[in-house]
Amino acid sequence: MKAFLQKNTNYFIFFAILLLLISLKIINPPFIKSVSYLSFDLYQKVFAKKKDSDVVIIDIDEKSLGKFGQFPWNRTVFAKILDQLNTSDPKAIGFDIFFTEKDKQSPEEIIKSYGLIPSDVAELQNLKSPDDLFAEKLKESKSIIAVLGSNVPSHTNYDRKAKARFLSKGGDPFEFTYSYPFSIGSLEVLENNVKGLGSISFLDQLDGIIRSLPLIVQLNKKLYPTIGLEMVRVGEKQKNIYVELNEVGINRISARPHKIDSDPNGIIWIKYKKSQKKQYISASDVYEGNFDKSFFQNKYVLIGASAQGLFDLVKTPLGITIPGVEVHANVIENILDKSYLVRNPNTYIFELLFSIIVALITFILSQKIKPRYSLSIFFGNILAIIIIGFSVYKFKSQLVDISYPLFIVTVTFLTGLYFRFIEENKLALENLQKEAKLLKERELAAGVQKSLFPDISKFENFIFARNVPARDVSGDYFDVVRSTPEEYFFTLADVSGKGIKAGMYMAKASSIFRTLTNLKYPIEKVVFGVNNELVEAKFKGMFVTAVFGKLNIKTGEMVFINAGHESILTFDQNKNYEYIKSEMPPIGIVKYFSESMVKSNTINMKDKTFVVYTDGVTEGYLQNGEELGSEGVQNIINNISDVTPKAIVESIEKKLNWGAEKLRDDITCMAINIKNTELIKKKPVEKPKKVESK
């Protein structure tokens, strides 16, 4: 054995490095994301091209600032621009601009600025304000104004409402869309006269590059489309935006006849084309009428700023800086010709598996063949990764991360070469030291974990549970908390994965459950709190399947929640068996936005027995090598003469824990029956009697 370890130490260390690299990819911290973005951006730089567009940008440029002066301009300027545009019959006109304050040249503002007495300037007061004139032109146009999500309220805010009507199928989009508590927009008189309100909110980007944006967002608990989608809706003369959802989130967003596939949070990845000057026209030229009417006819028109002093410039994956309004132009183009990019969740799994396979091939061959040949294998794998990534992007418009697989293969290859030139005995010794340290940590973790399981000996007449770990540290957990003389909270859970990390995750879940049940919250609120705390705990890639419940032994009522766990077994006095399947996903994956996301069930336990267990029970091996299965659990119960919770659990444990060297998985089981709810009192320890001397 020792000789084998010494001979293969390099493989053990390689697998540890590979596991670390794959774990980093799963955890996906910011610096790993930045590595992935390298390939995403490279695709666009290589394949970006110029193409004709149905989107025109009216540019608030240096030339326009020279003509009209400092921005913001008088609203009559925009009113005249709309007049000029309406002669060309554009499909829709979008303002990537806010009009948050009243025009400084309105009669009201002039009176206020100069301290005039209203009675002395009655004629001035009777004049129409620039805002009113602009509002009239907006009403005559197919116009859209921008709104923006904000975390702080605006002093000019009012209770605005989206113009688009949202219809959803398959779920509630509010549960999956990004949310802002407040919104920033324009004056109420202006927004009341437009055909659409569109969000210009971008998500925070690590490096400031705009690669994606949400097609729909929540602003002050109302759904709004992004300005690009809103312009398409208005341009196609549609009232509704359709949102299709599946079990994981948003699947598709439609503004007929255009259907856009999105990620579960309604986000699309933008495919940029090369900027073209001919797509822009100066706002001053439109104001003066210096344009061909066909330039705007049946086009989507965006009004935004490129002037340096207005600070509306953003970075793109193409490595250039463009006006923010051009990002929205690209979004409109992507929707119209369905050229947007897709980051398929299944592609992420493919990347991980492919990286593991290529890394294994590269490392094993680097240990078996000569270095000059292994170098050919290395470059061959690099070339294969690049070809696959670029081909999928070119022909399917899907984003495949090749940067991190290339990084993994390179690290793997260099590791293999390193092991070819170092002393094997030294590496073997270091590996043994690491194994000894890990074993000690596991033993310590196992001791700590055992202390987390509760003493339920007082309740064993009606609630009994047991955990038998397959290894040092168990990923299973159960708990019972007595909140009042009649009410008991309970849970039985199974953490994904094994080892110390699973034990730590279990300990975290245990502490949260105990804290919330001691506060006597409803079971739905307990699950809501446990889930959200686990999501915030940053244990990436881990989750918990669990059954939570609250039992009243006086009324017999039990409220329970099955979060992605094994089916619950219930049976009556005649041993009529019934299985209750899970109606919820495991906890610790997606943050709950409200307690209504937690689905509970209620049963009366007066004549029922409730049995819940982890998959280590149904998938546990019997002495004949077969799995126990759910039918095996029923057979065990059928053979018990006096069916009590303790008898059920101990019989199941005895059947599975028959003396094998290692269990296949942790055995954890709980049974509840309120036929006998008498608490068991512990016998006091008798003190030794003193012997009196005569």
**Model confidence over 281-305: pLDDT tens digits?**
999 999 999 999 899 999 999 999 9
User: Facing residues of 167 across strands?
Assistant: 242
User: Is residue 267 predicted with pLDDT exceeding 80?
Assistant: yes
Does residue 42 register a pLDDT over 90? Answer: yes
Q: What is the mean pLDDT of the chain?
A: 86
Q: How many residues does the chain have?
A: 694
Please write the tens of the pLDDT for every residue from 504-555. 788 888 889 999 998 889 999 999 999 998 888 877 778 999 999 999 999 9
* pTM given for the model: 0.58
> What SS3 class is residue 311?
coil
Give mean pLDDT, residues 321-348: 90
Q: Does residue 404 carry a pLDDT above 70?
A: yes
Question: Who's near 233: CB < 8 A, 6+ residues apart?
Answer: 164, 196, 225, 239, 241, 255
Residue 694 confidence (pLDDT): 46
Residue 611 binned pLDDT confidence (cut-offs 50, 70, 90)? very high
User: Which two tokens mark 192?
Assistant: 């009341």
Contact criterion met (CB below 8 Å) for 85 and 93 = yes
Q: In DSSP terms, which residues pair with 493 in a beta bridge?
A: 477, 546
Band (pLDDT 50/70/90 cuts) for residue 1 is: low
| SS3 of residue 292 by DSSP | coil
Instruction: Tell me the one-letter amino acid at 183.
Output: S
* Confidence check: pLDDT of 609 > 60: yes
pLDDT of 310 > 80? The answer is no
* Alpha helices per DSSP H over 421-549: 424-450, 499-518, 523-536
- 406 pLDDT more than 80: yes
pLDDT band at 476 (very low <50, low <70, confident <90, very high): confident
**What pLDDT is recorded for position 434?**
76
pLDDT at residue 447 tops 80: no
pLDDT digits (tens, 9 = 90+) for 159-196: 899 999 999 999 999 999 999 999 999 999 999 999 99
pLDDT at residue 619 tops 50:
yes
CA distance 62 to 64: 5
For the packed helices 2-27 and 345-368, what is the interaxial angle rounded to 10 degrees?
A: 150
Residue 679 backbone dihedrals phi, psi, to 5 degrees: -75, 145
pLDDT at 281: 94
pLDDT: which is higher, 101 or 225: 225
What type of residue is 6?
Q
* Residue 127: pLDDT band with limits 50, 70, 90: low
| Crossing angle for the helix pair 645-656 and 629-638, to the nearest 10 degrees | 130
Is the pLDDT at 688 greater than 60? The verdict is no
Residue 607 Ramachandran class (φ > 0 left, ψ -120 to 50 alpha, else beta): alpha
Q: Identify the pLDDT of residue 239.
A: 94
The pair of structure tokens assigned to 432 is 């043994």
Residue 430 clears pLDDT 70, i.e. is over it: no
Asked whether residue 424 carries a pLDDT value surpassing 80, the answer given is no
With left for phi above 0 and alpha for psi between -120 and 50, is residue 575 left, alpha or beta? left
Q: Which of 312-316, 496-500, 645-649 has the highest mean pLDDT?
A: 645-649
Give the model's confidence band at 425: pLDDT under 50 very low, under 70 low, under 90 confident, else very high: very low
Rounded (5°) CA angle 59-76-286: 35
Residue 306 burial (CB < 10 Å; 0-12/13-18/19+)? buried
**Could you give the CA distance from residue 48 to residue 50 in angstroms, rounded to a whole number?**
7
Q: What is the predicted pLDDT for the residue at 687? A: 57
CB atoms within 10 A of CB 222: 16
Q: What's the confidence (pLDDT) of residue 35? A: 87
Chain centre distance of CA 218: 16
pLDDT digits (tens, 9 = 90+) for 367-381: 777 666 777 888 888
Structurally, at CATH architecture level, domain 450-672 sits in 4-Layer Sandwich (3.60)
Band of pLDDT at residue 226, cut at 50, 70 and 90:
very high
Enumerate long-range contacts of 136-139, CB under 8 Å, 24 or more apart. 136/79, 136/193, 137/78, 137/79, 137/82, 137/83, 138/82, 138/190, 138/193, 138/194, 139/193, 139/194
pLDDT at 121 over 90: no
Give whichever of 81-85, 539-543, 620-624 has the largest mean pLDDT: 81-85
Structure tokens at 382: 């690099």
pLDDT of residue 119: 57
Mean pLDDT of the 627-637 span: 91
CB 438 within 8 A of CB 431: no
Average pLDDT over residues 456-466: 91
What is the structure's pLDDT at 428?
46
pLDDT over 90 percentage in the chain: 51
Q: Which of 524, 269, 485 is nearest to 398 (CA)?
A: 269
Query: 260 and 271 in contact (C-beta within 8 Å)?
Result: no
CB 374 within 8 Å of CB 416: yes
